[in-house]
A and B are shown apart, each in its own frame.
Chain A
Amino acid sequence: MAILVDKSSKVMVQGMTGGAGKFHTARMLTYGTNIVGGTSPGKGGQEVEGKPVFDTVVECVENTGADVSAIFLPARFVMEAAIEAIRAGVKFLVIVPEHIPIHDMLHVRREAVAHGATVIGGNTAGVMTPGEANLGIMPDIAFKPGRVGTVSRSGSITYYVADTLTRTGYGETTCVGLGGDPVLGSTFDEILLKFEDDPKTKAVVMCGEIGGVYEERACNVIPDMKTPVLAMIGGIYAPPGKRMGHAGAIVEGKMGTAKEKLEMLADAGAHPCKTFLDIPETLKKLGV
């Protein structure tokens, strides 16, 4: 078991004929990801790495049964592409490009909620279920099948955490990159609950970051989870960031500092970690 993707997932690539699309299609296939096709408007009928390219997602889904999509398109085309996939019945989307306009992401999120789809990103390294599927841009060297799930905003932190879990023999069930953009398709609490439902995941490592607004939402679900949650927050020593006007302060309250976020998570029952090496030590104590 895993969450979000496994070897049975039928993966399509939106923007398959572009430079990044081609490069990462080949990489994902090499890993063993079950890529069934892709789209590129006007290029229907072509092939990339032997997989069929369609003009639209509807055609791709009809012909290949794709249920997962990885998007490799310039930011300005992402909203339409994501909504196209969601309306065509794709249930899980990974938005790799960064700098997606914020209002666009609000529209994407709305469509996803309305159709019961899950979106991660923008600016995500993707999702990796070791030994089964690599969706996005993650380097496979860090990963090995195992029993700990990870969810992090940043790609590089995902790699470091997985690297640590791999070298200490825990391995990973699934590693999820939430993404680094200001408004993201999914939130920490939503991914944590998916791990909670996965019998193979014995613990979850979540890594938040200063400036994020989704860390606090994790506190709503951690107290009721049976799966232990380990938490790291980047930016404990970061210089205070800029705030966004009065309205931002009124709506988002006093944005939690990294330290406050970590304390809040600890109060909710998460096990705080300061370095990556704290992770295996904590897992050992928990008997994972």
Chain B
Amino acid sequence: MRLYEYEGKQLFEKFKIPVSARRLAKSPDEVFKIVEKMKEPVVLKAQVLSGGRGKAGGIKIAEGANEARTYADELFKLTIKGYPVDAILIEPKLDIKQEYYIGVTIDRANYKLVLIASGEGGVDIEETAEKHPDKIFKLPLDISEDVYTFDALLIAKKIGLPQELIKEGAAIIISLYNMFRKYDAKLVEINPLVLTADGKLLAADARVSLDDDAVFRHPELQEMGIESRHEEGEMTPREKQAQDWGIPYLDLDGNIGMFPGGAGFGIMGNDFIHHYGGQPANFMDSGGGPSPERIAKMLVLLDQKPEVKVIFGARFGGISRCDDFAKGVIMFLKDHGLSKPLVMRMTGNMWQEGVRMFEEAKEANPELFEHIEFHGIETPIEEISKRAVELASLEGGN
């Protein structure tokens, strides 16, 4: 769960990481009123859950209230990487002498937390990491370890903080690391940490991403007004619909509707379709042990997508039982009917039960099964993939 800059800064304040005084505005008029009172040059920052904001024109400097309102008009009309701008953060403009970078993240392959710091902060930090790795300092730490003050001091010196700010810099580093652990973060970044002309250190931006799976143990976030949210960029209406139903789904450009089991074959099945010369219309994941209702909803998504010419179904029942799968498909057929061909394979836990249910339903309503080709364990999944590609080319489309 990604936090907005203003939310990240709330957490920073809690951990005594210095930030500017700031106000949040939701309309150009509000921006005008706030800036009028501030009586100093301000920076207006679009609040969006995406990086690259500065490069997308989401940051403006205004000398006075009228100019601020003009910029605010523009900012509220912006969409940055699919995110509309609903709020603007207003802070006094800083007189910047130097920009540093401090971050904490997880090195998953090596099971370590990593503290990262550089004397060259700002928007080009990744480029610096690639071209001048010597300018990036990394300290791997165990999840159960604190950062020692001496390590933090050494980092503060290495990135070139002025002598009189070494202790303060070390304290910021330690606080950021503690915040990372306290809130089950996946990523926290101060980029840039700014040294102002009058010799102060300030976190000028805040990037905080928390582990969705651990938000349950931080009810205080909600008390601070930080609502739980999904990370979403630009979504198609169908992707939005799928998300509301709790189904991981992505629209793709092809014409074969993918109706797989779990994410593993959801991903590999798409490769198979490509391998045999077809184009998947989507990625989808049923999740573990889907209910019949969820299975039916997966079919609704594909049935309603006009580009889908053929549906390719695969179910290898593990924790997801074949009888529930069959129940879901039958439920869908009875409620909606299916106008497109469905070629599918089903095997695994409770497969006999699933097959029996299909056979009974077909006997009772043969017309519902007119477009369905059903296979069991005897047919390799590759054959089913080929058949789906073949049917798609017969049906036409792209």
Contacts and interface: CB of A to CB of B under 8 A. Distances in A.
A89 interface: no
Interface in A158-207: 158-160, 163-164, 167, 180, 182-183, 187, 207
B380 interface: yes
Nearest to B112: A106
A180 B264 contact: yes
B114 interface: yes
Interface string B212-244: 111011000000000000010100000000000
Contacts of B104: 247
Interface string A245-258: 11111111000001
Contacts of A247: 103-105, 114, 116, 187, 189
Which of A106, A167, A210, A247 has the most chain B CB atoms closer than 10 A to its own CB? A247
Contacts of B138: 250-251
Contacts of B264: 152-158, 180, 207, 209, 234
A132 interface: no
Interface stretch (A48-56, A61-69, A271-279): A271-279
A223 interface: no
A101 interface: yes
Interface stretch (B148-156, B330-338, B343-351): B343-351
B265 A98 contact: no
Given A159-B318, A160-B265, A216-B109, A277 B377 contact: no
A238 B283 contact: yes
Given A102-B214, A237-B270, A139 B349 contact: yes
A236 B262 contact: no
Which of A76, A125, A138, A139 has the most chain B CB atoms closer than 10 A to its own CB? A139
A110 to B, nearest CB: 6
B111 to A, nearest CB: 5
Contact of B316 (A159, A248, A249): A159
A160 B105 contact: no
B93 interface: no
B136 A156 contact: no
Contacts of A207: 264, 268
B394 to A, nearest CB: 22
A101 B105 contact: no
Contact of B265 (A101, A106, A156, A258): A156
Contacts of A101: 184, 211, 213-214, 217
B271 interface: yes
A239 B282 CA distance: 10
A125 B181 CA distance: 29
A281 B116 CA distance: 47
A249 B126 contact: yes
A172 to B, nearest CB: 15
A249 B316 CA distance: 35
Interface string A207-251: 101100110110000000000000010111111001011111111
A99 interface: yes
A233 B275 CA distance: 13
Nearest to A111: B144
Contacts of A274: 271, 275
A286 interface: no
A94 to B, nearest CB: 13
Interface size class of A (residues with CB under 8 A): 35 or more
A109 interface: yes
Contacts of A123: 288
B281 interface: no
B189 A276 contact: no
A246 B103 contact: yes
A141 B382 contact: no
A187 B270 CA distance: 25
A100 interface: yes
Contacts of A284: none
A251 B105 CA distance: 8
A27 B263 CA distance: 24
Nearest to B314: A156
A242 B211 CA distance: 15
Contacts of A216: 109
Interface in B271-288: 271-272, 274-275, 280, 283, 288
Nearest to B143: A106
B270 to A, nearest CB: 6
B318 A139 contact: yes
B209 A245 contact: yes
B73 to A, nearest CB: 30
B131 interface: no
A103 B184 CA distance: 6
B44 to A, nearest CB: 23
A156 B380 contact: no
Given A101-B214, A250-B116, A154 B108 contact: no
A137 interface: yes
Interface in B176-210: 181, 184, 186-187, 189, 191, 207, 209
Counting from the closest, the 9 A-B pairs by CB-CB distance are A154-B264, A101-B214, A247-B105, A139-B348, A106-B143, A247-B103, A234-B268, A234-B267, A156-B265
Given A142-B348, A156-B262, A245-B209, 13 more contacts: A27-B349, A76-B217, A103-B211, A106-B113, A234-B264, A237-B270, A238-B283, A246-B129, A247-B105, A247-B114, A248-B187, A250-B105, A276-B381
7 contacts: A101-B217, A104-B214, A137-B318, A207-B264, A235-B271, A248-B187, A276-B381
